[in-house]
Amino acid sequence: MTVVISLLLVLCVLALFLPLLSRKAVPEFYISSTPAEDREREQTRIKAMLADLRQEYDAGKIPESEFTSMAAELLADLDRIAAVSKSSAKRSSKRLFCDECGAVRPPEVAACSQCGAEFK
């Protein structure tokens, strides 16, 4: 009888702690991503929302005035993300290294700290 109780106790303890010992995938929000990936993910989410909104409007579930105001807000969000993408692309187009010696070029510096070559 004590063997059965002991076995049940061990099984209960395993049932409680086994989930803690198993390896699970890291949730997406813990994975670091670049700002460009974040913008792309946000654009995809907004486009899906626009498609859903259009489907709701076509089905007659929302009035035209509500559809146009909500669609305008979503399109404004897309425009804002596109503007941020363009401005960050301009900033990243600068060379990150010196053409002469290959040293790292800090932002907003006019000349290379290694060889003295002026940045264009």
Instruction: State the pLDDT confidence band at 26, using cuts at 50, 70 and 90.
Output: low
CA–CA dist 52, 45 (Å, integer) = 11
**Greatest CA separation for the chain:** 87
The residue-averaged pLDDT of 79-106 equals 70
CA–CA dist 61, 52 (Å, integer) = 11
Helices (H), the chain: 2-21, 35-58, 64-92
Say whether pLDDT at 105 is over 60: yes
- pLDDT for res 30: 54
Say whether pLDDT at 59 is over 80: yes
Say whether pLDDT at 69 is over 90: yes
Distances (CA, A) of 109 to 1, 90, 94, 95, 103: 81, 17, 11, 11, 12
The residue that leads in pLDDT, 83 or 96, is 83
